[in-house]
């Protein structure tokens, strides 16, 4: 897997494996540059505590390190995800504006 372009990551998720990804068993963090897009995608505004460029960089780094260490990522057109230990880490890309 190539490195993930942070300029295309809208939000990230970190949660428990085997649970739903609604946010009850994990957390979403949004890149500040894409707050408006993330609000539109979600259908309502994000709170200030949901915005964290540091968390976005951290989760993307965990995904990249996992793949370097042999973890096979799930790659879709709008996200990339890995399972590490008992956690799932996902980076969601900014939707194309077609």
Asked, for residue 1, whether it belongs to a domain, the answer is: no
Asked, for residue 98, whether it belongs to a domain, the answer is: no
- Smallest CA-to-CA distance from 69 within 53, 84, 52 is with 84
Domain count, the chain: 1
Asked, for residue 54, whether it belongs to a domain, the answer is: yes
Predicted pLDDT of residue 20:
84
Q: How far apart are CA 77 and CA 71, in angstroms?
A: 19
The predicted-structure confidence for 11-59, as pLDDT tens digits, reads as follows 999 999 988 888 888 999 999 999 999 999 889 999 999 999 999 999 9
Whether the CB-CB separation of 80 and 1 falls below 8 Å is answered with yes
Predicted pLDDT of residue 97:
64
Predicted pLDDT of residue 96:
80
Q: What is the domain range of residue 19?
A: 6-93
Predicted pLDDT of residue 98:
46
Asked, for residue 74, whether it belongs to a domain, the answer is: yes
Predicted pLDDT of residue 2:
73
């Amino acid at each position: 897997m190539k490195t993930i372009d942070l300029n295309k990551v809208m939000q990230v998720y970190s949660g428990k494996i085997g649970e739903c990804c609604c946010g009850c068993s994990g957390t979403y963090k949004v890149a500040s540059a894409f707050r408006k897009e993330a609000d539109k995608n979600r259908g309502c505004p994000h709170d200030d505590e949901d915005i964290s460029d540091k968390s976005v960089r951290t989760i993307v780094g965990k995904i990249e390190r996992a793949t370097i260490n042999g973890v096979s990522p799930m790659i879709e057109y709008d996200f990339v995800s890995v399972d590490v230990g008992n956690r799932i880490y996902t980076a969601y890309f900014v939707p194309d504006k077609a």
